[in-house]
Structure 1
């Protein structure tokens, strides 16, 4: 049995509002000791106040760890003295309030609880257990079902990874009305309907089963608490008219046969990243070509972003295993020497991966003469041709500076005549698609006139258009 004790009489708090805590926390602690002695062996878990982290249940002062910690510490000793085997729970908290837990540890209250309690049936919750968002600091959101992972991470960081987390309220309203409370009042649905309520119940207990430290999951609540179709009235497994919802059958099945689901609970795995160019031995000066791909097996890839020395210079929406590339044409502001290239990939669930590479900018004016080479490859249909190529410095990982010119030429009256032309950055691979409708002998001429220490180069590929 789990009992939550909250509220205080006027003689203890000085207020007619029972949600104002007592002026002397020890009075509350003594009362908890009395209750623990009276119900020793019959109550397994004591929750100290209900959702003390929010103004809905904590009045008279600003709710927070500093206000709550004295009440918790005053209760722990008397309860354990009366019933050593009883569990003392910090909270339960509103959502997975890991920052509140951090505050308790900072105040030295880590030795005053055996478990942390959370309530995930927050106002107008409509997202399922596997759906989540991230806080600005990258942690799973407090009001996500899976946010209990962050509560546990805080506990583990303070040596309490072995302590359990009790989810003494979880649930989804079956109402089909609009939200009437909280920050989303009037902006979203208030519930998920009966079918999704049952489905989310199954998913929730499946999720909890994957984490050994999640020892308690109590559905809120058994029966609707009113006839009107409102959010708070429609959390029940049993309707107001005493008929059973599908969620009743779902919970009954779990209680008899256990968790039958095999799918993963939430995509919490970040993407994997491959930096294709540059490499760790690449040297560049004026112009830097970058290319990468990423993939995610869970929720699929969303975007890929590039940074140089901490400053973002380009980002792309991207699919799994799609190569995205970019040429940073002006690198004059990049200092000579070692710089850090960072690639950040984000999947559709919001998971982020980062891969970094040290690259080197050199002053090309100080380099000896470098021999360059152009490679060309032609492909395409009879009338739509593509030439792909690359200017390189064989035997090195240098990225040449300057530009090269790519020309489509047709042989006419004994000479090659330029028909189409385009300049390309020397540091990057290039492609040039051209529609050719005139029959005859054609060729692609790529010419690099050299830049600094990089020598001239030229390449030709011929074709016949019929």
Structure 2
């Protein structure tokens, strides 16, 4: 978010000098736009800052041609570097801005025609400050069009990075060359650098989390395609994951810009322009600062985080002017005291930062090894102790069966169904998967193997009809069920048929008929047509693998 000052050629960032309380805590620092070298030294000493960040505009240094440095153009940087080195503070320098002679354009944000010309200039600076600059940022936010007025993308930026890396390392092998200084945690851009063959052209990655109108707490994040979102503070995890995936997990991340604006205005830029607040309250700013550094203590690969900005950039109450630890009138914001406390005493370790735990998940049905033919009961429950559940989803062989969202809106959710579509699968093994997802996209999955079988291929199973008649007179109630005589993975299918017969001479005459589903217990009422001697005949005709069965209840006399 570099914004050049009209009175200065360079933009600073200062950082803490005290040793942090925890070995893994990120070292502190701040940017210092519109601050003199004297103020940078004074505030760094007063707060205990450990780093100083400084921007250099190449177009304002070599104004007339290569190798010709404008008189006094490096005096400010000379003083900042000298003061920091004497006090044991680290310096990171970002270099951007192309002279017109190197680009053929009057626009300094157009990259040079020949990346080697930029590399040569970086070599001059690296030689001048060898052993006293801890890290060099190659350009500023080249992943977006605000500071890169050319074709935006890793393939366009990679040659500049490679040229700078070679030239700097030739003059100062121990210094770090930082890639990208990206807008947000732009891990797709980093991945693109590897794809462009620039994986060996940087020693670490710089990121900026003070993105336009950011008012979100550092412990809150969103996901993009399953990964932590680029514009989330905790997207730094994905920067590290990308490095680690290429065998470079030991490379450091330096958050060269971190901050929240304390403006009270509405967002005026970016995708949220006119749709939300542009800043937070001063109390929230201080609270977010403290939480951010405490969050970073959980990530030892983040070596330093530099607050943007030391001082407000102007009197007007707009977003870009209200990031300062110090107000425009010179008074300290609450964030200044919070920064000083963390620089001197460390961020503390109380509490976690961000919910990355997965929900607990219990699958009640089906059990592993279950055999079925027509329908399949599925039931599961989930609990999330840290946030709320977003959904429970059932899958079969990777295809979604159903998602339950309304029932999964709290910390506990239960979902169940009888899946009739199971009959459409081919016979054979089926993998049933249940997925529980919380509000942050953290997912837990459990799978069980079941098998759809053709009942006709199973050994025949004898059945038994249990039957009971209650009531008096002509009103009778029939209750019972059909079951297998031995344990079975299936429930008998088909119908149980009933015939009410009365005695006429030597014959039984059928007068009433009914049927019920054989898969369930049955109960129904029957009004008998006449006084007589009655009997009830219940018949199940069989449905593979279940055999037929018959039961007769006789000697029911109705007077």
Q: What is the TM-score normalised by the length of structure 2?
A: 0.68
Structure 2 residue 357 is matched with structure 1 residue 269: yes
1:13 is aligned, of 96, 103, 106, to 103
What RMSD over aligned residues (CA atoms) do the two structures have, in Å? 2.8
Using the TM superposition, give the Cα deviation of residue 346 of structure 1 relative to its aligned residue in structure 2, in angstroms.
0.7
1:212 aligns with 2:300: yes
Q: Secondary structure of 2:182's partner? A: strand
- Mapping for residues 145-184 of structure 1, pairs under 5 Å: 145-184=233-272
User: What is aligned with 1:337?
Assistant: 428
In structure 2, the partner of 1:34 is: 124
In structure 2, the partner of 1:365 is 456
> Where do 5+ consecutive residues of structure 2 fail to align?
1-90, 466-480, 497-515, 522-537, 550-559
1:235-274 equivalence runs, <5 A: 235-274=323-362
Q: Which residue number corresponds to residue 396 of structure 2?
A: 308
Q: Is the 8 A contact 1:283 1:397 kept in 2?
A: no
- 1:108 lines up with 2:197 in the alignment: yes
Alpha-carbon distance between aligned partners in 2 of 1:64 and 1:259, rounded to the nearest angstrom: 36
Cα shift at 1:404: 9.3
Residues 336 and 363 of structure 1 are in contact (CA less than 8 Å); yes or no, is this contact kept in structure 2? yes
Deviation digits for residues 409-452 of structure 1 (CA, Å, limit 9, x no counterpart): xxxxxxxxxxxxxx99959xx9xxxxxxxxxxxxxxxx996754
Give me the whole-angstrom Cα distance separating, in 2, the residues matched to 1:396 and 1:57: 74
Q: Is 2:180 aligned against 1:97?
A: no
Deviation of 1:189 (Å): 1.2
The CA distance in 2 between the partners of 1:334 and 1:359, in whole Å, is 12
- For residues 256 and 157 of structure 2, the distance between their equivalents in structure 1, rounded to whole angstroms, comes to 19
Distance 2:166 2:301 in 1: 24
- Partners of 2:179 and 2:359 in 1: how far apart? 36
Shift of 1:100: 0.8
Question: Taking structure 1 as reference, are residues 25 and 396 closer, same or farther at Cα in structure 2, changes over 3 Å only?
Answer: farther
Which SS does the other structure have where 2:422 is aligned? coil
Q: Which residue of 1 aligns with 2:376?
A: 288
**In the comparison of the two structures, how many residue pairs are matched?**
408
Deviation at 1:261, TM superposition (A): 4.2
- Which structure would you say has the larger RCO, counting Cα contacts within 8 Å and 6 or more residues apart? 2
Q: Do structure 1's residue 229 and structure 2's residue 317 form an aligned pair?
A: yes
Q: Distance in 1 between matches of 2:313 and 2:463?
A: 80
Contact 2:378/2:417, CA 8 A, preserved across alignment? yes
Q: Deviations over 1:8-43 (max 9, x none)?
A: 100000100000011000010010000011111221
Q: 1:240 to 1:4 in 2, by over 3 A?
A: same
What corresponds to 2:437 in structure 1?
346
Q: 3-state SS of the aligned residue for 1:152? A: helix
How far residue 357 of structure 1 moved from its aligned partner, in angstroms, is 2.0
The whole-number CA distance in structure 2 between the counterparts of 1:218 and 1:169 is 5
1:258 to partner: Cα distance: 0.9
Greater radius of gyration (CA)? 2
TM-score w.r.t. the length of structure 1 is: 0.82
CA gap 1:254/1:275 in 2 versus in 1, 3 angstroms: same
CA, structure 1 residues 163+35, in 2 after alignment: closer, same or farther (shift >3 Å)?
same
Shift of 1:239: 1.1
Q: 2: distance between equivalents of 1:348 and 1:276? A: 23
